[in-house]
Amino acid sequence: MSKYRGNPEAVRSLVRDLEVHKDVYVDPEVFDLEMEHLFANTWVYVGHASQVPNKGDYYTTTIGRESVVMVRHTDGSIKVLYNRCPHKGVKVAGGTCGNTGKFFRCPYHAWTFKTDGSLLSIPLKKGYENTGFEGCEGKNGMAVVPEVREYREFVFCKLNPGGISFEDFFGESLSTIDNMIDRSPEGRLEVAGGVLRYMHNCNWKMLVDNQTDTCHPMVAHESSAGTAVKVWNEAPEGTPKPMAVELFAPFMSPYEFFEGMGIRIWENGHGHTGVADSIHAAYSPVPGYWDQLVAAYGEERASKILGDTRHNTVYFPNIMIKGPIQTLRLFKPIAVDKTLVESWTFRLVGAPDMLLERTLMYNRLINAPTSVVGHDDLEMYERAQEGLKSRGMEWTNVARLFDPAEKDQKNVTTNGTNEWQMRNQFRAWARFMTESM
């Protein structure tokens, strides 16, 4: 018997003001419902337009559990199609990316489809005449994801038609994407440097929760960032501070630093740490970059762009963006206890290579399966995934700095160690989980 399926009240009761039920992380039925409802009712990140610059370029990925292909159509627009042949269900687009020309051709029986999904041809088509084929689901070709929005080259989609609009869903939160793009003197980003793929044996939401969890770095990362600071302190005086130390050291900032840096809460589960300050604020200037920005934007605006050093921005449900370090992390749910973390990086088009070099160093030091910081975190997630199976307690806790008045507020800034953003995520979770039940 289903505990949660068809029972929106039971799903809603998993989220309390101060607590979240363990089933949210460990129950396979809740996971299935997330894939069916949460990932269909929200605007989910697909990819970046620079991954498909030319007509016929495609990139395959998943939205929740759905295999999709993002493709540059012959009219120049970007389409998102379910990657499934209407004939026998074969994934039509193979591999991760490529160019398919003017049409997709299924490798099994050579059914072909235009890059908007519509059926182009079937071999021996006569065999379908007078069979009633035109009444079949597959007559139109590959299924199209109806709601696709490209925001300054960031492509999002929503699997369920209707519901919340793109603008209402994201509201003011798009300012983080704006800031990352504005950091390019040409106002343009390109996916660059390869993607790090890191398999986690834990629920995807543990990673999302962690992004605005500012009470863990100085504890969980004492082993990595703390050791980095210690080893660096042994270097002879006058040794220039290496880039790696500059990237590691701020993780060891004290609680007061994280309290002071602040968290901004938007609606629908979006929010970011690092309002007044952040661990990315004190990086060394890159020669030539400032002059490029001043030439592009003028001194005042350039200063404003670089002064906005947001730490982690969560776009609910499953991405995090770091504007100052040009990184996008995608938390892909695979099973209730399995998540693929993809860490993507961007080149600021027109900016010095040194910025990309720093971004890539950050990415491999922090987000790689070989990263010591990653090891610290994954150990905690995997312990939590095991620990939460305990029948000793039912709830996890998100009470830190709770204020009953917070519930109707949005676009506000609060203490950087507040768990408000996690509560914000779970309120959004309960809403979009049950919206289509």
Whether 344 and 330 have beta carbons less than 8 Å apart is answered as yes
Of positions 144, 164, 192, 401, contacts other proteins by CB under 8 A: 192
Please tell me whether residue 141 binds other proteins under the rule CB under 8 A.
no
> Shortest distance, CB of residue 220 to other proteins, whole angstroms?
8
Going by C-alpha positions, the residue among 267, 165, 289, 263 that lies closest to residue 211 is: 263
Report the distance separating Cα 244 and Cα 331, nearest Å.
Answer: 25
Report the distance separating Cα 437 and Cα 426, nearest Å.
Answer: 17
Residues 365-394 that bind other proteins (CB under 8 A): 365, 368-370, 372, 374-376, 378-380
Please tell me whether residue 107 binds other proteins under the rule CB under 8 A.
no
Whether 400 and 34 have beta carbons less than 8 Å apart is answered as no
Going by C-alpha positions, the residue among 434, 426, 432 that lies closest to residue 7 is: 434
Please tell me whether residue 284 binds other proteins under the rule CB under 8 A.
no
Of positions 20, 30, 157, 196, contacts other proteins by CB under 8 A: 196
Please tell me whether residue 197 binds other proteins under the rule CB under 8 A.
yes
Please tell me whether residue 65 binds other proteins under the rule CB under 8 A.
no
> Shortest distance, CB of residue 150 to other proteins, whole angstroms?
26
Please tell me whether residue 223 binds other proteins under the rule CB under 8 A.
yes
The C-alpha angle 435, 315, 403, rounded to 5 degrees, equals: 75
Give residues with Cβ within 8 angstroms of 322, minimum separation 6.
280, 310, 311, 312, 313, 328
Of positions 351, 360, 366, 422, contacts other proteins by CB under 8 A: 360
Of positions 17, 172, 299, 357, contacts other proteins by CB under 8 A: 357
Whether 72 and 58 have beta carbons less than 8 Å apart is answered as yes
- What's phi and psi for 396, nearest 5 deg? -105, 165
Please tell me whether residue 198 binds other proteins under the rule CB under 8 A.
yes
* Residue nearer to other proteins on the CB measure, 294 or 354: 354
* Residue nearer to other proteins on the CB measure, 200 or 329: 200
Q: Given 3-state DSSP classes, what are the helix, strand and coil percentages for the chain, each rounded to the nearest 5? A: 35, 25, 40
Residues that bind other proteins (CB under 8 A): 192-194, 196-201, 220, 222-224, 226-228, 230-232, 235, 242, 244-245, 248, 340, 345, 353, 356-357, 360-361, 363-365, 368-370, 372, 374-376, 378-380
